[in-house]
């Protein structure tokens, strides 16, 4: 059956079909356990930025609750960043005690020390010192009992890990494929002022993820923060294996408030103003549309990366249970040089924060309603193509051998 003429994405990507999406993947504990094993424990996952551990001896510990672990990311004296499970080789205590979802530290000698019995490890994961080593038996071999390594790599300054213990892991560049090329070359490091948020949501990670992966909801959910600002239609949708991307555009008929108009003239901090393209890679907004606002890209499985002139931001959705998710939102702009620019950026960020609160306010209600069993299917319209593709990509991983 051919798609109607106004279903342009269904026509471009007919293999995705137009049928409904089952509810079960969002509510089933059994599905979640398989998803955890087949997707999150075997995929490359973004866990940080190189600027966070810029100097030798800097380290970051990132909790990964779905894997019941945390990883130590440490920059060695050779400048390389390596990752390890945060588990001491002695009796399994955490080497670095976390103070939150993300913990940062520094040691000039580029070592970390387990507080329990003082075992010391260097940035290569090797044991440097074992107190009272002479009391261990002769079959204890320090060289074979360092920290357990985690596959770690960097793309465009983003640090990724893969928890698969196999040595035959697909390289990060190959995993990213076309989406890595599409988003390469953007000056992520120059836009270093970060506004960071996180919260725990009583919903499946896909329910949270999908709420950010379309613009159909803007006219209703964001009527307060961004009235009549964005178009609900997507532009330049491209699929790259399990990854996907699209342009989000402005309506161009919305007049900013007097305060917003002043703020937009002082600093590039808001997505609701028309913007240039000097920072954009040539593949992003290739036709240089006047109404382009930002590129919304999904890096499988759980990262949304958005780029725009003078702005980039991420949403990341960490599964904790079949009905519980950690959401992290990070919004980056160029640091202010004047007090007026600082005010403008703070104004823009207040609007953005309010919009994110509007988004997250829908998710727990969605989960509760889905778990009622009243509906077995979700019906998607054409501009929810990223969500449809996401379930197809997930299904492929779930059925992979």
Q: Each residue's pLDDT tens digit in the chain (401 positions)?
A: 455 568 999 999 999 999 999 999 999 999 999 999 999 999 999 999 999 999 999 999 999 999 999 999 999 999 999 999 999 999 999 999 999 999 999 999 999 999 999 999 999 999 999 999 999 999 999 999 999 999 999 999 999 999 999 999 999 999 999 999 999 999 999 999 999 999 999 999 999 999 999 999 988 998 888 888 888 899 999 999 999 999 999 987 777 788 888 998 999 898 888 878 899 999 999 999 999 999 999 999 999 999 999 999 999 999 999 999 999 999 999 999 999 999 999 999 998 999 999 999 999 999 999 999 999 999 999 999 999 999 999 999 999 87
Tens digit of pLDDT for each residue in 45-86? 999 999 999 999 999 999 999 999 999 999 999 999 999 999
Dist. CA 111–CA 74, nearest whole Å? 9
Residues near 282 by Cβ (< 8 Å), separated by ≥ 6? none
Residues of the chain with CATH 3.90.380.10: 180-398
State whether residue 47 is helix, strand or coil: strand
205 to 21, 66, 212, 283, 334: CA distances (angstroms)? 16, 11, 11, 29, 30
Dist. CA 182–CA 176, nearest whole Å? 10
- Are 181 and 238 in contact, with CB atoms under 8 Å apart? no
Is the four-CA dihedral 330, 334, 339, 343 of positive or negative sign? Answer: negative
Dist. CA 173–CA 181, nearest whole Å? 9
Dist. CA 94–CA 72, nearest whole Å? 10
**CATH classification number, 180-398, choose in 3.30.9.10, 1.10.150.20, 3.40.50.300, 3.90.380.10:** 3.90.380.10
Alpha helices, H only, 183-304: 205-212, 218-221, 258-266
Position 243 scores a pLDDT of: 98
Dist. CA 364–CA 179, nearest whole Å? 30
Dist. CA 304–CA 320, nearest whole Å? 18
Position 88 scores a pLDDT of: 97
Average model confidence (pLDDT) for the chain?
94
- Are 65 and 318 in contact, with CB atoms under 8 Å apart? yes
Q: How many angstroms from the chain centroid is the CA of residue 147?
A: 26
Concatenating the DSSP letter of every residue in 285-349 gives STT--TTEEEEEEEETTTEEEEEETTEEEEEEEEEEETTEEEEEEEEEEPPPSSHHHHHHHHHHH
Position 260 scores a pLDDT of: 86
Dist. CA 182–CA 74, nearest whole Å? 28
- Are 169 and 175 in contact, with CB atoms under 8 Å apart? no
DSSP state of 257: P
Dist. CA 392–CA 389, nearest whole Å? 5
Dist. CA 241–CA 24, nearest whole Å? 24
Predicted structure pTM score: 0.95
Dist. CA 44–CA 160, nearest whole Å? 6
Position 275 scores a pLDDT of: 78
Position 1 scores a pLDDT of: 44
Structure tokens given for 80: 């390389």
Q: Tell which CATH architecture fits domain 45-163.
A: 3-layer Sandwich (2.102)
Give phi and psi for 272, each to the nearest 5. Answer: -90, 5
């Amino acid at each position: 059956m051919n798609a109607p003429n106004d279903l342009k994405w269904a026509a471009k990507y007919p293999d995705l079909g137009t049928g409904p999406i089952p509810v079960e993947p969002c509510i089933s504990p059994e599905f979640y356990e398989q998803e955890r094993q087949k997707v999150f424990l075997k995929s490359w996952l973004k866990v940080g930025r190189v600027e966070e551990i810029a100097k030798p001896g800097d380290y970051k510990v990132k909790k990964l609750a779905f894997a019941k672990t945390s990883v130590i990311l440490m920059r060695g004296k050779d400048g390389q960043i390596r990752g390890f499970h945060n588990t001491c080789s002695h009796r399994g205590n955490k080497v670095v005690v976390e103070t939150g979802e993300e913990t940062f530290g520094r040691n000039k000698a580029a070592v970390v020390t387990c507080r329990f019995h003082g075992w010391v490890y260097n940035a290569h994961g090797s044991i440097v010192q074992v107190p009272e080593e002479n009391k261990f038996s002769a079959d204890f071999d320090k060289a074979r009992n360092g920290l357990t390594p985690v596959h770690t790599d960097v793309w465009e300054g983003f640090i990724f890990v893969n928890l698969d213990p196999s040595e035959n892991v697909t390289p990060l560049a190959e995993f990213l494929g076309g989406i890595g090329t599409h988003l390469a070359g953007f000056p992520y490091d120059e836009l270093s002022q970060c506004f960071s948020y996180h919260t725990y949501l009583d919903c499946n990670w896909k329910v949270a993820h999908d709420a950010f992966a379309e613009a159909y909801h803007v006219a209703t959910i964001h009527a307060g923060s961004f009235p009549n600002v964005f178009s609900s239609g997507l532009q330049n949708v491209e699929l790259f294996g399990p990854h996907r991307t699209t342009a989000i555009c402005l309506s161009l008929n919305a007049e900013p408030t007097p305060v917003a108009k002043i703020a937009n003239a002082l600093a590039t901090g808001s997505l609701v103003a028309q913007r240039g393209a000097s920072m954009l890679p040539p593949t992003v907004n290739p036709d240089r549309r006047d109404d382009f606002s930002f590129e919304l890209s999904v890096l499988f499985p759980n990262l949304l990366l958005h780029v725009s002139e003078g702005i980039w931001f991420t949403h990341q959705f960490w599964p904790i249970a079949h009905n519980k998710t950690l959401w992290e939102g990070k919004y980056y702009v160029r640091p202010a040089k004047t007090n007026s620019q600082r005010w403008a950026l703070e104004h823009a960020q207040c609007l953005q924060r309010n919009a994110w609160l509007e988004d997250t306010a829908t998710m727990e209600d969605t989960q509760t309603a889905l778990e009622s069993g009243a509906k077995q299917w979700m019906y998607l319209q054409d501009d929810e193509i990223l969500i449809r593709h996401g379930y197809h990509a997930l299904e492929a991983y779930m059925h992979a051998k």
